[in-house]
């Protein structure tokens, strides 16, 4: 049984990665329904929380059906991060996660996200400040290091465990790689095999099929897997991985009707949470992924992204079902 503090996550949990502009409550709802064991919010700026910025505060919205759920924060200042953790504490999530992995320039240049990988003492101080400021379990997500010549994640794991984190997720790339090239899980395995490390170690990067999930589970010995981009438009991946682990069989791919049904749920929750206009506009980024592999889909995608009302979107989705009812998905 994998545990983070007192949170029981099962034998080999599948985690939904925190993804900016993706991992909001509507998206998390469909992932939870399709097998995600632990989810995180989009990352939230510590400075934004302290300033009471509307967008940052909105990201604190969590719902009981999502549990267990962690709220992820980022920042490079000890005091701001500690205060943010106290604000998060009041919302009563199951845990607080620190983002030490985001490679985006606007985050890194503030010494936050993956930027802090260049300053390990500061990384330790920020982590310790967060741990001391909350009663919740604190976890961390990070990368292998800043670049190929400074892969320091093995030391990071020991130092952060020493100041009290309860789990560590490692994305198998450096900051310099961004999201390019193949993720390297060998250092993640070394952390897991380090006799000093007693906290759960989760691997992240490039898991896009049940077969690969099982291969990496067996090859690298980690405690669980975090899935990110492969779940966008395809939340079924969590249950597909679980089914493959249990039976060695691949579940049938979701039908067009399945895709439309989940897309509708996602849309309805998006509108409920964000309001009509924002909910509709922010769903537009998901349609290509939900219907990936449908031949000659361009006409419908255009209609979906041009639709101004929920009713127009729902009507188009019904037309998708009618058009593709007897046509297979090619990819």
Catalytic machinery residues: 102
What is each CA distance from 44 to 72, 121, 146, 249, 272, in whole angstroms?
6, 23, 22, 39, 21
Any idea which residue has 């310790």 for tokens?
A: 128
DSSP string, 204-258: ES---SHHHHHHHHHHH--SEEEE-GGGTT-TTHHHHHHHHHHHS-PPPPPPHHH
In residues, how long is the chain? Answer: 331
Say whether 254 sits in a helix, a strand or coil: coil
Question: Dihedral sign, CA of 17, 19, 24, 28?
Answer: negative
Enumerate the H helices of 25-64 as residue ranges.
Answer: 25-33, 46-51, 54-58
Cα–Cα dist 106/155, whole Å: 26
Cα–Cα dist 23/35, whole Å: 15
What is each CA distance from 203 to 52, 149, 187, 237, in whole angstroms?
33, 21, 10, 16
Cα–Cα dist 21/157, whole Å: 28
Say whether 170 sits in a helix, a strand or coil: strand
Residues 6 or more apart whose Cβ sits within 8 Å of residue 276: 309, 310
In sequence order, the β-bridge partners of residue 139 are 97, 167
* Burial (0-12, 13-18, 19+ Cβ within 10 Å), 327: exposed
């Amino acid at each position: 049984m994998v545990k983070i503090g007192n949170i029981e996550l099962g034998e080999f949990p599948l985690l939904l990665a925190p993804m900016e502009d993706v991992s909001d409550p509507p998206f998390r709802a469909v992932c939870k329904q399709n097998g995600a064991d632990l989810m995180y919010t989009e990352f939230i700026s510590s400075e934004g929380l302290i300033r009471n910025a509307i967008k940052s505060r909105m990201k604190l919205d969590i719902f009981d059906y999502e549990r267990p759920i962690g709220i992820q924060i980022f920042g490079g200042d000890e005091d701001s991060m500690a205060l943010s953790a106290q604000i998060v504490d009041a919302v009563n999530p199951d845990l607080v996660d620190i983002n030490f992995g985001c490679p985006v320039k606007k985050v890194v240049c503030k010494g936050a996200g993956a930027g802090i990988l260049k300053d390990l003492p500061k990384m330790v101080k920020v982590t310790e400040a967060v741990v001391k400021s909350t009663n919740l379990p604190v976890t961390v997500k990070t990368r292998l290091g800043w670049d190929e010549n400074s892969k320091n994640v093995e030391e990071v794991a020991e130092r952060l465990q020493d100041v009290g984190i309860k789990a560590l997720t490692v994305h198998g790339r450096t900051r310099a790689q961004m999201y390019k090239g193949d993720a390297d899980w060998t250092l993640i395995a070394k952390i897991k095999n380090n006799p000093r490390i007693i906290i759960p170690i989760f691997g992240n990067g490039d898991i896009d099929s049940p077969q690969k999930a099982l291969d990496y589970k067996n090859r690298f010995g980690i405690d669980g897997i975090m899935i990110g981009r492969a779940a966008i438009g395809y939340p079924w991946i969590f249950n597909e991985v679980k089914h493959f682990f249990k039976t060695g069989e691949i579940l049938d791919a979701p039908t067009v009707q399945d895709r439309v049904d989940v897309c509708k749920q996602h849309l309805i929750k998006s509108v409920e949470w964000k309001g009509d206009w924002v909910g509709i506009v922010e769903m537009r980024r998901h349609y290509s992924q939900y219907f990936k592999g449908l031949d000659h889909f361009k006409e419908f995608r255009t209609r979906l992204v041009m639709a101004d009302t929920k009713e127009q979107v729902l009507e188009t989705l019904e037309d998708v079902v009618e058009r593709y009812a007897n046509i297979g998905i090619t990819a």
